[in-house]
Amino acid sequence: MDIQNHFYGHTAVLAAYAGLFRPRHVAGLIQHGWTTVPPIPVNFGDFPNVEKSGRRQLFVWSHGSRAWDPGHSPRQSFALGSPWAYLVSTDAAKRQLAGKAGGDATGTLIMPLHSTRIVEVRGDQGSLAQEYLRDEGPSTVCLHVEDIHKPDIVSSWLDAGHRVVTAGPRHDPDFLSRILALVLASERVVANRLMTPVLYAASLGRDVAVYGDPLSISGAEIHGQDAIRDLWPELHGRSLDRGVTTDLARAELGFQHVLEPAELRSALGWSRRSPGPAVQYWASAPMRKALNVVGLGQRDPGSSEKQVGASPLAWLKHPMSHLPRPLPAHAAALDPLPAPIPVVRPSPTAPLAG
């Protein structure tokens, strides 16, 4: 019922698992990223009352995350499991996972902290790239689409001798499939903060590490790095216990909540046709978010926009990006998995990502 449901290929993956040719409108809101704080206000802050009628659900990834206690949440949620858990549970992904079990994976994949349309990453990425070069050797670096047109960021990694790729724009239905392709091709995944891709890799038994300059973001930090390390100490450091990180990541990503295909279709409202979610997607949800931007609507007190201090001007930099668009035309590509997109050195006048 909102465009965020379709970010990063999430509904495209769910459609593939559910046996559909393309995603449909969802009878609720789907968490679109792992969080170090309770996910409901961060992901669903623009819609503080949407679940109260009982016709819509708040679909969170896990009720077993250390980030929160759903029993103490003022809002009810449905533990769906992450789209990643569904992706790697498809028959096609299982075949490729089995094929990579023989040791074909090589090298390190680096996933640095990235900018968003609201906040900018700040700090010396050149020094971070050199640190990783010394410790990991020449590696593959996956940059978020928000950073691939920034010459200073891209050059920092290329000049250090790393290969730079991206998984595509956030509306690409194959985004998550490309992340899986990158993880399967890599022996080790490293990041400078504990973020979603680290959990993705750890959930598959890959060696992971979280170290290096965490950089900073514009606006206030939602959760301090010391607090995050204290809450997930097993996931910080250069050398981690793979058995521990795998089990922990799978709990954080909600593998224990994964539904059967028919159950998933029913939960998302995909087992029947109803105009309600489509009307909300195209009309009421955009209107509600627009009112929130100009201060005339109501947000959850813990919404990420309030926590990072985002102003309306941050949204107005990319006004069209917040509008609904046609749903993905196909389910996620699984066999073969799509290749990551190479990133070349941008010119100083290159346009920002769309």
Q: Tell me the mean pLDDT in the region 120-149.
A: 96
Least confident span in 41-50, 71-80, 153-162: 41-50
Domain shared by 109 and 225, yes or no:
yes
115: nearest Cα among 152, 153, 147, 158: 147
140 and 152 both lie in a single domain:
yes
Helical ranges in the chain per DSSP H: 10-18, 39-44, 83-87, 91-99, 125-136, 151-159, 175-185, 196-203, 225-231, 242-252, 261-268, 276-279, 285-293, 304-308, 312-316
What is the side-by-side strand order in the sheet with 57-60?
Answer: 28-30, 57-60, 78-79
Total tally of structural domains belonging to the chain: 2
**267 and 247, same domain (yes or no):** no
Q: Are residues 11 and 127 in the same domain?
A: no
Could you tell me if residue 32 is inside a domain? yes
Q: What is the mean pLDDT of residues 143-153?
A: 95
DSSP state of 338: P
Structural domain including 296 reads 3-87+255-322
- Quick one: 307 and 207 in the same domain? no
Q: What is the pLDDT of residue 104?
A: 79
Please list the residues that pair with 237 across neighbouring strands: 210
Between these two residues, 37 and 101, which has the higher pLDDT value?
A: 37
- In the chain, the amino acid numbered 336 is P
Least confident interval from 46-50, 229-233, 267-271, 298-302: 298-302
233, 270: one domain:
no
Q: What is the pLDDT of residues 221-269, one digit of tens each?
A: 667 899 999 999 999 999 999 999 999 999 999 999 999 999 999 999 9
Arithmetic mean of pLDDT, 286-311: 55
Nearest to 126 by CA among 162, 100, 101, 97: 162
For residues 55 and 130, state if they share a domain: no
pLDDT digits 0-9 by tens, 169-178: 999 999 999 9
pLDDT value for 302: 59
Report which of residues 275 and 354 the model is more confident about.
275
Residues 303-340 have pLDDT tens digits of 554 444 455 555 555 555 667 888 999 999 999 999 99
Considering the domain architecture, whether residues 10 and 51 belong to the same structural domain is answered as yes
| Rounded CA Rg of the chain | 19
Q: Give the pLDDT score at 305.
A: 46
CA-based diameter of the chain, in Å?
57
Residue 160 token pair: 């250090």
**Rounded mean pLDDT of the chain?**
88
Full-model pTM: 0.90
Tell me what pLDDT residue 352 has. Answer: 47
| Per-residue pLDDT, 349 | 60
- What percent of the chain is predicted at pLDDT more than 70? 83
Q: In the prediction, which pLDDT does 276 show?
A: 72
